[in-house]
A and B are shown apart, each in its own frame.
Chain A
Amino acid sequence: MAHDDPDHPHALLPPDPALRVRALETVLTRKGLIDPAALDAIIDTYQNRVGPKNGAAVVARAWSDPGFRADLLDDATAAVSGMGFHGRQGEHIVAVENTPEVHNMVVCTLCSCYPWPLLGVPPAWYKSDAYRARAVREPRKVLAEFGVTLPEETAVRVWDSTAEVRYLVLPMRPKGTDGLSEEALAALVGRDAMIGTALASAPEGAA
């Protein structure tokens, strides 16, 4: 830390929106409406604890345990809650299963509703106008840009998330994964596979 940098005789001025957020925090803290420690805890949760690993664990269990898979497809909110993943905003989670007949893909055309407890905070592209507008209009083209080409006979179904309902795509289990542990299976499931803009990865060594 250069404390005597001649270019910065005073503390580095944060960008305007950062000052506006600071101002909101100050007024709300003074009124006792927020607890600054709670803000730190929320940031820590989303930066370090909650992320696509949660969703991958859910997918891996569904691949390994037919009973859990049935529960997940029946009532995902309850099924993932049993694994310790709870929604903060009272939303319902719905799992949609990919099959050779149907490939599912998730978008939020309104803003950026997303299954936070399972996938963390959405990536910028999920929040972009380009994805939000085009996912519904031309899903196959969008998928192709993500490097996903589906067989002609596979239909694409696009699910529009809302504040109340968030979707998790249950990808197809890759070939050559018989006998893999849940942990090894989870490593094949990336974030985009659970949004539906990718497929689960093939295991190492598989053609």
Chain B
Amino acid sequence: MSARPDPVFAEPWHAQLFALTVHLNEQGLFAWPDWAARFGATLKRHGLSRELDGGDDYFAAWLETLEALLDEAGAAPGSVVEDLRAAWERAYLMTPHGDPVHLAES
């Protein structure tokens, strides 16, 4: 019991993704049982080709599920999300190391 406990989230993006999903559920964007059913289906599909270890691969399946759900719902269309992802990537590459990274206003 004296061992240091594992961090709750192994990566910051795991935590962000978890919080985003919980928040969207609480905002009423989807019901939790629907979320669980969709997520379970993604995990099953991913698990067919290899054994998932419950770490990065688990949250990769989670992200894919949320992206598809928000795309279908029209809340975050895939093309818009991809443009913003690319914009964030550019912002990181353009920002001098140590400065806060901001998205250029579009």
Tell me whether A21 and B20 are in contact (CB under 8 A).
yes
Known contacts A1-B98, A28-B75; decide if A34 and B13 are in contact (CB<8 Å).
no
Q: How far is the CA of A90 from the CA of B8 in the complex (A)?
A: 22
Chain A interface mostly helix, strand, loop or mixed?
loop
Tell me whether B97 and A27 are in contact (CB under 8 A).
no
* B71-89 to A contact mask, C-beta < 8 Å, 1/0: 0000110001110110111
Collect the chain B residues with CB atoms within 8 Å of residue A110's CB: 36-37, 40, 43
Tell me whether B66 and A24 are in contact (CB under 8 A).
yes
Q: Looking at the assembled complex, report how far the CB atom of B76 sits from the nearest CB atom of chain A, in whole angstroms.
A: 5
Of B19, B52, B80, B98, the most chain A CB neighbours within 10 A belong to B19
Q: How far is the CA of A111 from the CA of B66 in the complex (A)?
A: 14
Contacts A11-B97, A28-B70 aside, 14 further interface pairs with beta carbons under 8 A come to A5-B97, A10-B96, A14-B92, A19-B88, A20-B85, A21-B13, A24-B70, A46-B15, A46-B19, A47-B9, A110-B36, A124-B53, A128-B58, A163-B36
**Between-chain CB contacts (< 8 Å), 27 pairs:** A10-B92, A10-B94, A13-B93, A15-B11, A15-B13, A19-B85, A19-B88, A20-B85, A22-B16, A23-B88, A28-B70, A33-B29, A39-B19, A51-B8, A111-B43, A120-B8, A121-B9, A123-B54, A126-B54, A127-B54, A127-B58, A128-B51, A128-B52, A129-B43, A129-B51, A130-B53, A163-B36
